[in-house]
Amino acid sequence: MTGAYFLFGLLGLELAVPPSNAGAVWPPAGIALASILLWGRSIAPGIFVGNFCISAWAFGFDNQPLLIYLATGFGATTNALMGAYLIKRWVGFPTELLEDRQIVLFLFLGGPLSCLIPATVGISAMTAGGIITPSEIPVNWFSWWVGDSIGVLVFTPLLLTLFANPAAIWRQRVIPVGIPLILSFILVAVFFYYIQKVEYQRHEQEFDNQSLVLSQALKHRIQDQAQSLYGIRNLLIGIPDLDEKDFRLFSQPVLKEFDELEAIQWLVYKPGQFNKTSLKTVYSEQKTNVATYSDPLPAPLIDRMIQANESKLLAKAYIETVDDHLIFLMPVYQNTALNKTSLKGIVSGMISIPLLIHQVFKTLDSDGIYLAISGTDNMSGYRIIYSNTSNNLKGDYRQYGLQVADQIWQLYFYRDSALAHSQTHWSMWWFLISGLLFTCLLGLGSLLLTGRYFKTERIVDERTADLLQAKTSAETANKTKDQFLAKISHELRTPLNGILGFTQLLQKNSLISGLEKQQIDIISHCSEDLLTLINDILDISAIENNKIKITPEKFDLSGLLDDICQLFSLKAKEKQLDFVTSIGKHPRYLEGDKKRIRQILSNLLNNAIKYTDQGIVGLTVNYHDGLLEFIVTDTGCGIADAHLNLIFSPFIQVTEHGTITEGIGIGLAICQELTKLMKGDIKVHSEPAIGSEFIVTLPVSCTDFENTSLIDEQNSQRTGGKAKINALIADDNEINLLLLSNLLDAQCCRIDSAMNGQEALSLIDRNHYDLAFIDLKMPVMGGIELVKKLRNKRNGLKMIAISAYADRQMIQEALNAGFNDYLTKPIDSDQLIRLIQTTQINHE
C-alpha cells in the first residue's frame, strides 16, 4: 500500500500546476479508499506511511516540516477510513452498484464529502507551520480538496472494476468503465504535459524578447546621453573661453531632456595647483536637490587621459561608477607650443543608475523582470554596479554585454517565475480540472449506464425465466388439451359412428316413410353438425400446433361442386333463401387437397346461410391460369368495417347488439389457415345490412385431364359386375361391429367378425380374407400390434384401420405399421363403398 501510494503520489505531483505543489488530481486518495473498501482497515498504516513519504519528498526531505508530514499522513488515512465507513454505512459494500442513487451516493460520500478532511487538516498544519499565509488558505484548500475528490472519482471506480466483488458484475465493467476512465485520464494528462511545455517555451521566448528589448533600450538611452555630453565637450574644445552663461545655455536643455542626468560639470586641469587633485570645478549645472560629485577623481584615471593624449589615442570618454551613479568623463585637450596638446579639463555628466533603469523599464513591458549590472572597474576590478533583484530569484537569466565608454558592462536579466506563472496558473489549472472533471463525469456516466444495463439484463433474465416457465406450463397445458381433445373426440366419435351409420341405414330403408323419415333426417342432420363441430375443434387445435398438413391429390372438382351445390341448395331452401350458383369453365380434375377445399367452401356457405335471414346466397367458381377462385356472397347482416380484421381470429364472434349466434367462432380462422397452407388467399368485403362477399383464391394445378377422366369411366363400368369378397371386421364395440356388418352386407361381402386382435389373428390364420377392417383400440391385442404380427403372412390381404382418433399423427402411425388405409369413425359410407369397389376390381 505504501509503495502504491508513493508511486501514484509521484504521478499526482507531476500533475501539479506550477508554481504550486497542489496536484490537480491526487490519485492516491482514490487508491487508498478503494483499498480500505476491498481489503479492510488493516491497510490504513500503509496509507499513513505512504503519504508521509510523499510529503517528505515534495518538501525535499527537509526535516523542518515534520509535523506537516504527520498531519497530511493523518489527513489522508482518516479520509480513506471515513470514506469507507460512510460508504459501508449508507450504500453497503461489497455492492454491485446498480442503482443510480447508490452510484451517486457512493461517489459523493467517498469523494467530495470525505475529502474535506485531508484538505482541512493539511492546510491547517501548513498555515500553522508558516508555509502558507492566511490569505493563501482558500485557494490552497480548494485545490487540495478538488484534487483529492477527483482522485477518488477517477481511481476508486477503476480499482473496483479490477478487484471488487461480485466479480461477475464488476469484471464486466472493465471495458465499459475502466478503459474509458483510464484512457480519458491519460489523454488529459498527456495533453496537460503538452500545454505545459508549450507554455514554458512561450515564457522563455517572452523572456528572451523582453530582456533583449530592455538591453537595447538601455544601450540607446546611455548612448543618447553620451552624445549630448559629447556636444558640450565639443563646444568647450571649439570655444576655449566659453563663459558660464553659455555653458548653462547649452547644458540646461540636455539636463531637462534626461531625468536621470543629474549634473553636468566643467572641471579644469591644472597639475599641482589645487588641493588633493589637480582638477577644479569651474562650471556646474545640476538638478535641484542633487549633490554633485565632489570626490577627487582617481589619479590613474587622469593619468590614462593624459597618456591617451600623448599616445594620440582617440579616447572619447571614460566612466566612473560611484554609489548609484554613472559618471561620464570627457577630456578636453588644448594645443600647446610645439604642436602638442595637453589636458585642459574634463566635461563630466552624472547619471543616476536607478533613475536610468526606471526610465528604460517604465515605457516597456518589464513586468516581473529584474536587472543586475556588473562591470570591471579600473580600480576595484569586477563589481556589481547595480541590482534590483531579490535573493529569492534564482536560476534562469539572460546575459548581454554592453559597451559603455571605455568599459564593458554585463547586464543580467532575471525573471520572477512566480509572477510569470501566475498569469497562466489558473488557466492551466482550469484546463486540467475541466479535463479531469470530464473524466469523472465519464466514469459516473459509464457506471450509471452499466448499472442500468445490468439491471435491465437481470430483469430480462428473470422475465425470460418466467416466460420459459410459462411457456413450459402452456406447452404442458396444450399437450394435455390435445390429449383431452383426442380422447374426447374419440369418445364422441364412437357413439356418433353408431348414430350416423344406423341413421344412414334407416334412411335407405324403404319401409320407413313420412314423419319417421323426416325425424330420421333430422337425426342425421344433427349428427353431421355435431361431427363437423368435433372436426373443427380438432382442426383448430391442430392448426395451433402446426400439425395440419395439406395432402394434394388428384380430385374431381365437378363432383365436389355438385355435392356442395346439392347440399347447400337444400340448406338454403330450409331457410327460404335462394341459392344461386355460377360455375365458370374449369377442368374437371385438379391437383389439390379435396377434403380441405370442401371444408373451406362448406364453412363459407354455412356462414352465408347462417347470417342471412332473407335474400340470396350465391356461389361463383372460376378457374384461370392455375388459380381456382370461389366467391361466396350473401345478402345477410354483413360485417362492420371495424370487425373485418377480427373475424378471422379464433373464437371471435362478432355479434350485433349482443345476439348470440350458433357456432363457436373458429370456422373463418380454419378457412384462413387452410388457404394459407395451400398458398392461397382469402378476402372479405362486407357492408352491414347489405351483405358479405368472401373471395378465396387457391393455386391448384390441372393434371392430365383426358387420361384421368378415361380411367374413371373404366372403373365405373367394371364395378358393374360385383365380385364377392371376403371381409373380416375386428372391433370390441358391438354397435360398430353391427353397423359395419350392415354396410358391408349391402355391398355383397362375406363377413367374419372378431372382438379383439387375437381373435382376428386366429381367423386370418385359418381363412382367406380380401379385406380386413381393424379397430385400432381393442382389448387383448390392438390393431397396430395385429398388423405388425401379420407383416409377413398377409397373402394379398388389404388391411383398413378404423378408429375414432382422427389426428394425423395417429393416421401416420397406423399407415407406417402396415395398414393400407385408414377410415375415421363415424364411417363415411361413400368412402367405404369406394374401398370395396377397388378391392373387387383387384380381386377380379
Which residues of the shown chain bind ligand ADP in the complex (CB under 6 A)? 607-608, 611, 634, 636-639, 647, 653-655, 661, 663-669, 692
Rounded least distance, CB 607 to ligand ADP, Å = 4
Query: Looking up cell 335471414, which residue turns up?
Result: 613
CA dist 554 → 548, 701, 812, 830 (Å): 19, 10, 20, 18
Rounded least distance, CB 798 to ligand ADP, Å = 39
Judged by beta carbon, residue 352 or residue 635, the one nearer ligand ADP is 635
CA proximity to 617, closest of 561, 579, 570: 579
Give the integer Cα–Cα distance in Å for 24 and 599: 83
Helix (H) or strand (E) holding 832: helix 829-843
Judged by beta carbon, residue 353 or residue 654, the one nearer ligand ADP is 654
Judged by beta carbon, residue 161 or residue 692, the one nearer ligand ADP is 692
Q: How many CA atoms lie within 13 A of 510 on its CB side?
A: 0
Judged by beta carbon, residue 401 or residue 658, the one nearer ligand ADP is 658
Judged by beta carbon, residue 655 or residue 762, the one nearer ligand ADP is 655
Q: Are 633 and 617 in contact, with CB atoms under 8 Å apart?
A: yes
593: its cell numbers: 387437397
Rounded least distance, CB 674 to ligand ADP, Å = 12
Judged by beta carbon, residue 557 or residue 604, the one nearer ligand ADP is 604
Single-letter code of the amino acid located at 308: A
If phi > 0 it is left, if psi is from -120 to 50 it is alpha, else beta; for residue 679 that is left
Rounded least distance, CB 659 to ligand ADP, Å = 9
Phi, psi for 807 (deg, rounded to 5): -80, 150
- Checking DSSP bridges between strand 397-404 and strand 771-775, what pairing results, if any? unpaired
Give the integer Cα–Cα distance in Å for 712 and 554: 12
Rounded least distance, CB 840 to ligand ADP, Å = 41
Q: How many CA atoms lie within 13 A of 79 on its CB side?
A: 36
738: its cell numbers: 353391427
CA dihedral 663, 669, 672, 675 (to 10 degrees): -80
Rounded least distance, CB 666 to ligand ADP, Å = 6
Rounded least distance, CB 775 to ligand ADP, Å = 32
Judged by beta carbon, residue 288 or residue 576, the one nearer ligand ADP is 576
Rounded least distance, CB 631 to ligand ADP, Å = 12
Rounded least distance, CB 632 to ligand ADP, Å = 7
Q: Are 282 and 268 in contact, with CB atoms under 8 Å apart?
A: yes
172: its cell numbers: 464486466
326: its cell numbers: 554613472
Give the integer Cα–Cα distance in Å for 120 and 145: 8
CB atoms near residue 506 (< 10 Å): 17
Judged by beta carbon, residue 215 or residue 692, the one nearer ligand ADP is 692
Judged by beta carbon, residue 382 or residue 651, the one nearer ligand ADP is 651
Judged by beta carbon, residue 375 or residue 636, the one nearer ligand ADP is 636
137: its cell numbers: 488558505
Handedness of CA 385, 387, 392, 396 (dihedral sign): negative
Rounded least distance, CB 598 to ligand ADP, Å = 16
Rounded least distance, CB 676 to ligand ADP, Å = 15
| 3-state secondary structure labels for all residues of 682-732 | EEEEEECCCEEEEEEEEECEECCHHHHHHHHHHHHHHCCCCCCEEEEEECC
The sheet carrying 397-404 orders its strands as 381-387, 369-377, 407-415, 397-404
Give the integer Cα–Cα distance in Å for 559 and 562: 5
Rounded least distance, CB 545 to ligand ADP, Å = 19
Judged by beta carbon, residue 112 or residue 665, the one nearer ligand ADP is 665
- Checking DSSP bridges between strand 407-415 and strand 616-624, what pairing results, if any? unpaired
CA proximity to 316, closest of 220, 258, 211, 237: 237
Q: Which residue is nearest to ligand ADP (CB)?
A: 663
Give the integer Cα–Cα distance in Å for 121 and 93: 27
- Checking DSSP bridges between strand 279-286 and strand 553-556, what pairing results, if any? unpaired
Single-letter code of the amino acid located at 156: T
Judged by beta carbon, residue 467 or residue 690, the one nearer ligand ADP is 690
Judged by beta carbon, residue 655 or residue 714, the one nearer ligand ADP is 655
CA proximity to 548, closest of 674, 672, 665, 651: 674
Judged by beta carbon, residue 634 or residue 770, the one nearer ligand ADP is 634
Q: 3-class DSSP state for residue 209?
A: helix
Rounded least distance, CB 483 to ligand ADP, Å = 25
Rounded least distance, CB 677 to ligand ADP, Å = 17
CB atoms near residue 844 (< 10 Å): 11
180: its cell numbers: 474509458
Judged by beta carbon, residue 429 or residue 694, the one nearer ligand ADP is 694
Rounded least distance, CB 562 to ligand ADP, Å = 23
Give the integer Cα–Cα distance in Å for 824 and 500: 13
Going through 569-626 in order, the beta strands assigned E by DSSP cover 578-583, 589-592, 616-624
Rounded least distance, CB 657 to ligand ADP, Å = 12
Judged by beta carbon, residue 470 or residue 689, the one nearer ligand ADP is 689
